[in-house]
Amino acid sequence: MVSNYEMGISREHIEMAVAILTGVGLSAACGFRIFFPLLALNLASMFGYIGLAPGFEWIAGIQVTIAFGLATILEIVAYYVPWLDNIMDSIASPISVIAGTIVTASLITDIPPALKWTISIIAGGGIAGLFQGATVALRTKSSFFTGGFGNFIVASLELLASAIVSILSLLIPIAAFVLTLLLITYGIILARKVYLRKRSP
């Protein structure tokens, strides 16, 4: 039986890969709801289930739990109020990118800062922004075709997606990563269909 060490894969490499997968998964969840994944990370780190990178220990504080908890509740409520969800959409995109970047950076250790922040910004912030942009587009279509009444369903699905991806990211990072790739692939296929439909006479 060939061990990981004989294959050139150390425990540190595995832990780093798991940390990146977890960060990317939580970042994707930030694209659906900003504060739920942050609250999940806070609770997981507080109870010692997951370790934080140096400089990010503040995420495990009880004050942060209260702040993220209140922010999560307010964000959830806001998306069920027709006029508030439009305001949230206008500010959520840049905040989700920042949240995704922080989440990923808070989990990556033992690599040069430049590489760490490059991964965090591109993988973490980029994926969070991608999913946030998709949800804004979906809600815009829902508002157009249903007069805003369909936004309740969209908001519920977004919350469910954020919860599922967040929990999977902490428990089974590879599953969350695969789910994220599937959602991205589905989004690309759907966008391509819409584009071709608009171009067709």
Structure tokens at 150: 């369909």
pLDDT score of 142 more than 50? yes
Question: Long-range contacts of range 82-91, CB-CB < 8 Å, 24 or more positions apart?
Answer: 82/148, 82/151, 85/139, 85/151, 85/155, 86/143, 89/136, 89/139, 89/140
- CA–CA distance, 184 with 165 (Å, rounded to integer): 13
Burial grade of 59 (CB within 10 A; 0-12, 13-18, 19 or more)? buried
Structure tokens at 18: 């798991």
CA 15, 16, 19, 21 dihedral sign is: negative
- CA–CA distance, 142 with 15 (Å, rounded to integer): 41
pLDDT at 185: 83
The answer to whether 13 touches 109, Cβ cutoff 8 Å, is: no
Per-residue pLDDT of 59-88, as tens digits, reads 999 999 999 999 999 999 988 887 777 778
pLDDT at 89: 76
Structure tokens at 117: 């922040």
Considering its fold, how many domains does the chain have in total? 1
Q: Does 136 map to a domain?
A: yes
Q: Does 145 map to a domain?
A: yes
Least-confidence region, from 46-55, 117-126, 132-141, 160-169: 132-141
Q: Does 118 map to a domain?
A: yes
Burial grade of 43 (CB within 10 A; 0-12, 13-18, 19 or more)? middle
Range of the domain at 85: 11-199
Q: Does 1 map to a domain?
A: no
- Mean pLDDT on 141-160: 78
Distance in angstroms between the alpha carbons of the first and the last residue of the chain: 61
Question: pLDDT grade, residue 133 (50/70/90)?
Answer: confident
The larger pLDDT score, comparing residue 200 to residue 107, is at 107
Q: Does 5 map to a domain?
A: no
- Mean pLDDT on 150-178: 89
DSSP H helices in the chain: 11-32, 35-46, 62-78, 82-105, 113-119, 126-146, 151-171, 173-199
Q: What is the pTM of this model?
A: 0.85
- Mean pLDDT on 19-34: 92
pLDDT score of 196 more than 70? no
- One-letter identity of residue 11: R
Residue 172 phi, psi (nearest 5): -135, 80
Within 10 A of 196 (CB to CB), how many other CB atoms are there? 9
Within 10 A of 168 (CB to CB), how many other CB atoms are there? 21
Q: Does 3 map to a domain?
A: no
- Mean pLDDT on 36-64: 94
